[in-house]
Structure 1
Amino acid sequence: MPATYDAILSAPFGKIGVRTDGARIRAIVYLPGHVEGLAPADALTQRLAEQLAAYYDDPDAVFDVPLAAAGSAFQQRVWQAICAVPRGATTTYGTIADTIGAMPRAVGQACGQNPFPILVPCHRVVSARGIGGFSHHAEDGFYLDVKRWLLRHEGAMLI
């Protein structure tokens, strides 16, 4: 059964599927460019679409859409640490692990479970040996291309 979205928005790197509960964003999902778009279903998805468009124009744009509660207490600590990484910078899974008293692999798993990519900028977390994976995917392919685009857009990766 295909996933249902309240909007499928165009992005410079493909598409973004959005799920809401009507009042809050529940999930943001990276989708390849060939997926058919879907206009925002309500004012909330329209607001997110406008904020994403502003971000694509200016990586310092601010997001203020309401997010649904998600994740375990540990995942929330990881996501809070990710949100502290400024635009144009990166950190490593190990650095976050040291900060919150965890193991790097557990931090990587929490990053991969992030339901709000871009808004909770998990693309700013990299491996000590390179770019690392992204959204539970290996170090190549569509998802890593998205991560590279986001890092270049924010000035954290020049290649």
Structure 2
Amino acid sequence: MDRTHTVIDSPVGPLTLVATDGTLSAVYMEKQRHRPAEETFGVRDPSTYAFEQAAEQLGEYFAGDRKEFTVPLQPQGTDFQRTVWNALCDIPYGETLSYGELAERIGRPGAARAVGLANGRNPVSIIVPCHRVIGSTGQLTGYGGGIERKRHLLDFERGALVPQGGGAGATLW
């Protein structure tokens, strides 16, 4: 496995993008729960095409011009985790589901807790929208990037915050 990484700026703080064999495999926030050690990210190389695509699409998202991501992904996880992560991508922009509703969608109605654990291990923040999953009472519960970031992303998607940046507003460094 060839791994490379770069860091881009965003309205929710720096995002570390990781590619495995040239395909985006992770987007980590600063101080994110379950964030692997930096030495596992490989060499820093902002020229990887996956990073260019991801930075452009994240810039469009934060500018309010993108509601779905199309950058190819290669997240590393168990079959169950990947099933949950795929289902997350079906939650429409600006909408939320409970962990129980997500468990039902994947055909595992009694697995809300397991869905929550898989959700928490999502390595591709924002692009795979784990922030759109909430507690059964409608409360914001657990988020690897922190509840304030979750609230920010949900408020942004619901139109309560002004979009930031331009179409390609993410800055590579």
Unpaired runs of 5+ in structure 1?
33-37, 136-141
What are structure 2's unaligned runs of at least 5 residues? 32-43, 162-173
Aligned residues: 144
Question: After superposition, what is the alpha-carbon deviation per residue over 1:64-89, rounded to whole angstroms, capped at 9, x for unaligned?
Answer: 22211522221122112211110111
Q: CA RMSD in A?
A: 2.3
**Residue 111 of structure 2 aligns with which residue?**
103
Residues 93 and 84 (structure 1), Cα distance of their counterparts in 2 relative to 1, 3 Å cut: same
CA contact (8 A) 1:24 1:68 kept: yes
Query: Shift in Å at residue 22 of structure 1?
Result: 4.2
Identity %, equivalent residues: 33
- Residue 20 (str. 1) matches residue 19 (str. 2): yes
Note closer, same or farther for the CA distance 1:121–1:21 as it changes in structure 2 (3 Å cut). same
TM-score normalised per structure 1: 0.80
- TM-score normalised by the chain length of structure 2: 0.74
Structure 1 stretches of at least 4 aligned residues deviating more than 4 Å after TM superposition: none
Distance in 2 of aligned mates of 1:71 and 1:148? 26
CA distance 1:122–1:42, change in 2 (3 Å): same
Q: Does 2:8 align with 1:9? A: yes
Give the corresponding residue for 2:132. Answer: 124
> For the Cα contact (< 8 Å) 1:92–1:125, is it kept in 2?
yes
Q: Greater CA deviation, 64-73 or 44-53?
A: 64-73
Q: Is the 8 A contact 2:57 2:66 kept in 1?
A: no
Q: Is residue 27–residue 115 contact of structure 1 (8 Å, CA) maintained in 2?
A: yes
Please say if 1:87 is aligned against 2:93: yes
Match of 1:115 among 113, 118, 123: 123
CA contact (8 A) 1:59 1:153 kept: no
Q: Look up the SS of the partner of 1:6 in the other structure.
A: strand
Rounded Cα–Cα distance in structure 2 between residues aligned with 1:73 and 1:55: 28
The amino acid of 1:90's aligned partner reads T
Contact 2:75 2:124 survives alignment (8 Å): no
Give the stretch that moved more between structures: 49-58 or 67-76: 67-76
Q: Which has the higher contact order (CA 8 A, sep 6+)?
A: 2
